[in-house]
Structure 1
Amino acid sequence: MILPIVQHPDPRLRQLCAPVFDVAELGGLIAEMFETMYAASGRGLAAPQVGRLIRLFVMDCTWKEGERSPVVMINPEILSRSPETQRNEEGCLSIADHPVWVERPERIEVTWTDAQGAQRRGGFKGFAAACVLHEIDHLDGVLIVDYEDKA
């Protein structure tokens, strides 16, 4: 089922999301979030964007190039950020037609729980790092428009 995407300035997008304690309850939501993200031509979708104030997001940075690589992150935490940065024009499914140039670390290391409840740890670089950071921002109530005066 395709879910409605919450649009800025809805106050739910500014909320700090709560940790997830029972991963088993998320299966249907995760599937619906992927279906919604792909239908909206997005590369990432965070739970608050579909009205759920929990620390969960889905992303697939490569599907538009033909190869799907879906990732589910539950309770993600950034372990490290590189001092080297990158600047990308980012769009957001909750802020239609308003891309913003955002400067972010070139590389990050993250720990998270996957959809099966396993603890994961991994590094991301370039566009994938920016995507992870964009979605974690959503979990913290931060939007790309908050970077407009900084970039």
Structure 2
Amino acid sequence: MTVLSIRKVGDPVLRQVAEPVTVFDAELRRLVADLNQTLAGANGAGLAAPQVGVSLRVFAINPNLPGNDRKLDHLINPGLEFPDEEEQSGPEGCLSIPGVFLDTKRRMNVVARGLTKHGDPVQVVGDGLMARCIQHETDHLDGVLFIDHQDGEGQERILATLREASWGSRVKVSPH
């Protein structure tokens, strides 16, 4: 296992739609292990493959998140469904945008279906923080960052601040 470098906002890979995983081999299992090791080292709730420069539909989640009854630590090729219209709003951050935490509106409940690193089907039902994490990481797989969920004025304010950061010189509004 290896701790990988986390890409920062402005890196083009963070704005690309990731490719579906089609091969379930040792290389994929190594990627999942590396994502989990990197996530643990960063003390985060989730980490998507694009955040380490790999444009595949894979993310790692902290198995200790509330609502993670299965203790699942990754999901591949996720598809999300929302069983109701209930929403939540609360602080959200991102390992690719260090030090920025913003109130972000998400759905309260989610059903995520995907695959394990062995290609076995899995379903995760989450609420609260677990639902927020699953939605956040799935957004990464679609080239969307949590700052894209801000209103126009808030988004421009954040983008101006990020452009001043040494790693944020190429920050743009998402086309999504």
TM-score when scaled to structure 2?
0.78
Q: 1:48 maps to what in 2? A: 50
Q: 1:96 maps to what in 2? A: 98
Q: 2:169 maps to what in 1? A: none
Which structure would you say has the larger Rg? 2
**Corresponding residue pairs, total:** 148
Where does 1:2-151 land on structure 2 (aligned, <5 Å)? 2-24=3-25, 25-60=27-62, 62=64, 69-149=71-151
Residue by residue, what CA displacement relative to the aligned partner does 1:8-41 show, whole Å, maximum 9, x if unpaired? 1111100000000012231111111111111011
Q: Give runs of ≥4 in structure 1 deviating > 3 Å.
A: none
- 1:146 and 1:81 mapped to 2: Cα distance? 23
- 1:91 and 1:81 mapped to 2: Cα distance? 25
Tell me if the contact between 2:65 and 2:130 (Cα under 8 Å) persists in the aligned partners.
Answer: no
For residue 62 of structure 1, report the CA deviation from its aligned partner. 2.2
Tell me if the contact between 2:46 and 2:137 (Cα under 8 Å) persists in the aligned partners.
Answer: yes
Q: Secondary structure at the match of 2:22?
A: coil
Tell me if the contact between 1:44 and 1:61 (Cα under 8 Å) persists in the aligned partners.
Answer: no
- 2:105 and 2:84 mapped to 1: Cα distance? 12
TM-score when scaled to structure 1?
0.91
User: 1:93 is matched by which residue type in structure 2?
Assistant: L
Q: Percent identity?
A: 36
Tell me if the contact between 1:110 and 1:122 (Cα under 8 Å) persists in the aligned partners.
Answer: yes
User: Higher strand fraction: Structure 1 or Structure 2?
Assistant: 1
For residue 99 of structure 1, report the CA deviation from its aligned partner. 1.0
Q: Secondary structure at the match of 1:132?
A: helix
- 1:20 and 1:74 mapped to 2: Cα distance? 7
- 1:115 and 1:61 mapped to 2: Cα distance? 15
Q: Secondary structure at the match of 2:47?
A: strand
Q: Secondary structure at the match of 2:82?
A: strand
User: 2:34 is matched by which residue type in structure 1?
Assistant: E
Tell me if the contact between 1:107 and 1:126 (Cα under 8 Å) persists in the aligned partners.
Answer: yes
* Structure 2 unpaired stretches of 5+: 155-176
- 2:15 and 2:8 mapped to 1: Cα distance? 11
